Amino acid sequence: MRQYKYRKFLRQGIALCASMLMAACAVEQVPVKLASRMGDVPAQPVHLVKQINLQLDTGYTRTLKSDSMWLNAGSVEQGEVYRPYKDVFTVEGAHIHEAYLVVSDHKLVGFYLPAEQAFSPLRPGVPIAFQQ
């Protein structure tokens, strides 16, 4: 009887640890509304000036390649949104999410997740520079 209680306790402990680990690896999301760009002029691609290596809160890393091209897709409350031009960019946690960059005051402050219509913060923000 004592051995049964120990096994039950052990299984519950393992399940609790696994669920806490999965929650810790999830990409944080805040619902937001993307405001599209205004005007008739199509967005012109901008180039990333230098490579940026990112460490996400989920423990995963991502690299923004030097000279990669991005288009202004609009804005959210947290900043201007840039989507990759002729490419796909993702962030990873418990799942993989397509992501656009969110930039405010020349800092990458997070990601807009278009499928989820949500913002995922990047802490701390990372300096970022584009050129035409």
- The pLDDT value recorded for residue 23 is 41
pLDDT at 86 over 90: yes
Q: Which two tokens stand for residue 10?
A: 């052990």
Task: Give 53's contacts (C-beta < 8 A, 6+ positions apart).
Answer: 61, 62, 63
* CA pair distance 102, 36, nearest whole angstrom: 14
In percent, how much of the chain has pLDDT > 90? 67
- The pLDDT value recorded for residue 15 is 47
- The pLDDT value recorded for residue 43 is 84
- Please state the pTM of the whole predicted model: 0.80
pLDDT in tens, 2-49: 555 556 555 555 544 444 444 446 789 999 999 988 776 788 999 999
| AA letter at 13 | G
Average confidence (pLDDT) over 46-67 = 95
